[in-house]
Chain A
C-alpha cells in the first residue's frame, strides 16, 4: 500500500467503532524445491497487504473468486495460521503477538463457521457433544452446560430431542445450523463465516441466511462473511471488500458497490452474475473478462488485474497502459466516494 495509506494508519489501530481490524496483513506460503534440501524457491503471495475494519454489529463481506486469498484472510484474522507480517487488532490487542494461552481466552469472542457442514462436524460425536465441546474446553460446561446446549439447539431452530443424534442423520442445512450453534456456544462477539451457505441448495441456503440475520439483530454480532457469491453478500453485508489476487481492489457499502462500482474487476464480477429475472437478464450490458486468474506465485507487475482488464485491453492508450504496468494502484478514495484500487476508476451502474 502507498505511503499515504500508511500515514493514515497509526490512529486506525482499532478505532472507536471497530471491534476487529486488520492492518497490512501479508501471508506468503513458501514454494520449496524438490529433492533433499527443499530450499525455498518462491512464495505464493496468498494475501498481500490487506487492511480492513469490522464495526460492532456490522457485516463485512469479503468476496472474490477462488484463489483470491479471501479464506486465507479469514484464517489470518482468527490467528489460525501465522501471518507473514501485519497485525490484527481485537479489543485493543494485537492477535498476531499473543501467546497461545492468551489467544485461547480470546477465542471465546472470535468464533467461526466453516463451509462444509459435512467435514466440519465430527461424525462420531452426537450433536449434544459437538455443541458442548467448546464449553468444556473453556471450562464452562459444569455451569449448566446441558441446559445451554438444549437452548442453543432451540435457538438455531432445531429440536432439543435431536441432541443424541449423529451428524449423518441431519440434512446439509440442519448441519450448518449445528455449526452455528457450536459457534454461538461461547457467546462470541465476532463470527467469521467462511462460505457458510455455499454447499447448500438455494431453498435451504435462505434459511441459514435468515438465521444469521436474526442472530445478528438480536445479539449484535459482528460478521466477517467470506463468500464467492455476490448475491448472497449483497443480501447480508453492510460493507463489502472485493479481493483479487491477494489484494482488496474495491471496498464500500453494499449500496455504493452495487449502485456504482468503479473497479473494472468489480464491474466484471457483478456483470458475470446472472439475474433470476429473464427480461432484466437479457437486457443487460455485460463486461466480460478474458482468461483466468494468474498464478499468485508470480503476480503481474503494477496492477494485478491488468492482464484480464477489459479497460486495459480496450480503452486505454499506451502511456496509460504503461502506468498500469509500472505503478501499483493504491486503494484510496480518489474522486469516487469509496476506496478503489484503479488508476482509471470510473463509476458504472452494472445492474
Chain B
C-alpha cells in the first residue's frame, strides 16, 4: 500500500461522520459453545458502537465469529450458547432480556437480512403474506391494509408488478427477487438498525450489484444504521463508513474504511488486502496468508495470528495484544508489531512462493524425461 499513506481531506469517502446518536452499543461480548473438546470460543470480546445512519462493515474469513456476533446481538443463538457482555439498543440491555421483550425489538428496531433468501423465507406462505406478517407483528393494522403496505414495500425495493407478486411463493421468484423480498421485510417497520449478514454472497455479480443498490436505498429510506457482514472487501470498500476486521473471534483492527484499506496496521488485514486479485490493475504475485485460521477451542495464549504471521516474535506467543491506537484516534489495531507495517507493501511482508521450488524443479525434470 505504498504511496497511499496520505489523508486527502477532499477525497474523504465517509458519507456520514460519526455524529449521529449511538443506537447500538456492544461491550465485551463473548459467545461460547460447549463441545466435547472444550468450550468453543466463537466470540472472544467484541465491543463497538453504532451510530444512526452509519454503516459498519464487519470483515473476516469463515469461522472468525462475524456472524455469531450479530446473532448474539439479535438473541438468535441456540440455547446452549453461553453469552456474556452487554448489548444495548438505545440504552436497553438485550442480553438476558425476556423473549417477549426481545420480540418487541427484533424486526421492529433491529432487522436482519440473512445470506440465503431461500432458507430465510417460508416456502409454504406467499411472499405477500410474509411481508404483511412482518407489518402486522409490530403495527396495529388490518389484513387488507397490511397487504397494501406489503405491495408498497415490494415496489420500494423495485420488484416489478408488486401487486401480482404478492401472490407468488418464494420458489416462483429468482434469487435476486427473493433477497429483495427479504429486504422489504427488513424495511417493514422502519428499523433503527439493519444487520445484513452476507446479503449478496449467494447471488451472481450483476444481481449482487442490484441488491447492494436496494440495500443502500433501504438504509437511506429508513435512516437506519447498518451492520454489513461480508467476506468481500470490495463490497466493504463501496458501502462501509467504518470497518471492523475480525480474526479468531476478536476484532483485530478497526477504523474508517480509508484507514483499513490505505494504511492497515495489522498483518492479517495487510495480508488479506494483498491476497485479493485486482480488477483494476495487473497484479503480480498475490500474497497468500500461509496456514489456516486457528480452531477456537482451547486456544493457546498469545496472538491467535502468530502461527501465520511473518512478523511474529517471542512476545506474540506469550501475550495477546489489545486494540491500540495507530495512525489516528479512530484507527485501532491489535498487534505488537504494527509499527513494522509503516510504508510497506504486502509483498514486502508476506512470502509469495507457495511451492517447494526444489520439488517442482525435480518434477519438471522427470516430466521432460517422461515425454
Whether A210 pairs with B288 at a CB distance below 8 angstroms is yes
* 8 Å CB contact of B237 from A234, A258, A276, A351: A276
A203 and B277 in contact, given A155-B356, A173-B292, A214-B355 (Cβ under 8 angstroms): no
Chain A residues 197-246 with CB under 8 Å of chain B are 201-207, 209-211, 213-215, 218-219, 228-232, 234-236
Whether B210 pairs with A290 at a CB distance below 8 angstroms is yes
Whether A288 pairs with B213 at a CB distance below 8 angstroms is yes
In the assembly, what is the distance between CA of A281 and CA of B175, in Å? 25
* 8 Å CB contact of A151 from B237, B286, B359: B359
Interface with B: A29-37, A267-275, A326-334, which one? Answer: A267-275
Whether A276 pairs with B363 at a CB distance below 8 angstroms is no
Whether A206 pairs with B355 at a CB distance below 8 angstroms is no
- A66 in contact (CB, < 8 A): yes
Chain A residues 55-102 with CB under 8 Å of chain B are 65-66
* 8 Å CB contact of B279 from A151, A155, A174, A258: A258
In the assembly, what is the distance between CA of A295 and CA of B287, in Å? 40
Whether B277 pairs with A268 at a CB distance below 8 angstroms is no
In the assembly, what is the distance between CA of A313 and CA of B261, in Å? 37
What string of 1s and 0s marks CB contacts (under 8 Å) between B201-216 and chain A? 0001111111011000
What string of 1s and 0s marks CB contacts (under 8 Å) between B274-287 and chain A? 11111110110111
A292 and B363 in contact, given A235-B278, A272-B208, A278-B13 (Cβ under 8 angstroms): no
Chain B residues 311-330 with CB under 8 Å of chain A are none
Whether A276 pairs with B276 at a CB distance below 8 angstroms is yes
- A277 in contact (CB, < 8 A): yes
Complex contacts, B370 vs chain A, CB 8 Å: 187
Interface with A: B39-47, B74-82, B191-199, B228-236, which one? Answer: B228-236
In the assembly, what is the distance between CA of A280 and CA of B371, in Å? 49
- A162 in contact (CB, < 8 A): no
Whether B210 pairs with A288 at a CB distance below 8 angstroms is yes
Whether B11 pairs with A210 at a CB distance below 8 angstroms is no
Q: Which of A151, A152, A268, A274 has the most CB of B within 10 A?
A: A274
Shortest CB-to-CB span from B117 to chain A, Å, is: 13
Whether A152 pairs with B363 at a CB distance below 8 angstroms is yes
In the assembly, what is the distance between CA of A206 and CA of B273, in Å? 11
Whether B237 pairs with A209 at a CB distance below 8 angstroms is no
Shortest CB-to-CB span from A278 to chain B, Å, is: 4
A203 and B278 in contact, given A65-B205, A66-B204 (Cβ under 8 angstroms): no
Whether A156 pairs with B355 at a CB distance below 8 angstroms is yes
What string of 1s and 0s marks CB contacts (under 8 Å) between A322-344 and chain B? 00000000000000000000000
Whether B355 pairs with A157 at a CB distance below 8 angstroms is yes
A234 and B238 in contact, given A155-B360, A206-B287, A278-B257 (Cβ under 8 angstroms): no
Shortest CB-to-CB span from B224 to chain A, Å, is: 20
In the assembly, what is the distance between CA of A351 and CA of B282, in Å? 12
In the assembly, what is the distance between CA of A289 and CA of B211, in Å? 12
What string of 1s and 0s marks CB contacts (under 8 Å) between B63-86 and chain A? 000000000000000000000000
B241: nearest residue on chain A (CB-CB)?
A278
Whether A218 pairs with B360 at a CB distance below 8 angstroms is yes
Complex contacts, A207 vs chain B, CB 8 Å: 288, 290, 354
- B174 in contact (CB, < 8 A): yes
Whether A232 pairs with B205 at a CB distance below 8 angstroms is no
Shortest CB-to-CB span from A110 to chain B, Å, is: 15
Interface residue range, chain A:
35 or more
- A120 in contact (CB, < 8 A): no
- A104 in contact (CB, < 8 A): no
Mostly helix, strand, loop or mixed at chain B's interface?
A: helix
- B19 in contact (CB, < 8 A): no
* 8 Å CB contact of B286 from A209, A229, A292: A209
Whether A279 pairs with B11 at a CB distance below 8 angstroms is yes
A172: nearest residue on chain B (CB-CB)?
B292
A258: nearest residue on chain B (CB-CB)?
B279
Whether A202 pairs with B275 at a CB distance below 8 angstroms is yes
Whether A230 pairs with B205 at a CB distance below 8 angstroms is yes
* 8 Å CB contact of A277 from B62, B175, B237, B353: B237
A230: nearest residue on chain B (CB-CB)?
B279
In the assembly, what is the distance between CA of A290 and CA of B61, in Å? 31
- B289 in contact (CB, < 8 A): yes
In the assembly, what is the distance between CA of A87 and CA of B210, in Å? 38
Whether B207 pairs with A292 at a CB distance below 8 angstroms is yes
Chain A residues 267-314 with CB under 8 Å of chain B are 268-282, 286, 288-290, 292-293
- B119 in contact (CB, < 8 A): no
- B29 in contact (CB, < 8 A): no
- A154 in contact (CB, < 8 A): yes
What string of 1s and 0s marks CB contacts (under 8 Å) between B336-371 and chain A? 000000000000000011111011111110110011
- A40 in contact (CB, < 8 A): no
What string of 1s and 0s marks CB contacts (under 8 Å) between A251-268 and chain B? 000010010000000001
In the assembly, what is the distance between CA of A112 and CA of B206, in Å? 28
- B251 in contact (CB, < 8 A): no
Whether A277 pairs with B275 at a CB distance below 8 angstroms is no
Complex contacts, B360 vs chain A, CB 8 Å: 155, 214-215, 218
Whether A155 pairs with B359 at a CB distance below 8 angstroms is yes
12 further contact pairs, Cβ within 8 A, besides A157-B354, A274-B237, A274-B238: A65-B207, A157-B356, A187-B371, A203-B271, A268-B206, A272-B205, A273-B205, A274-B234, A275-B237, A276-B234, A278-B258, A292-B207
Interfacial residues, chain B to chain A (CB-CB below 8 A): 11, 13, 61-62, 174-177, 204-210, 212-213, 231-238, 257-258, 261-262, 271-280, 282-283, 285-290, 292, 352-356, 358-364, 366-367, 370-371
Top 6 A-B pairs ranked by shortest CB distance? A274-B234, A207-B288, A154-B359, A235-B277, A206-B275, A206-B286
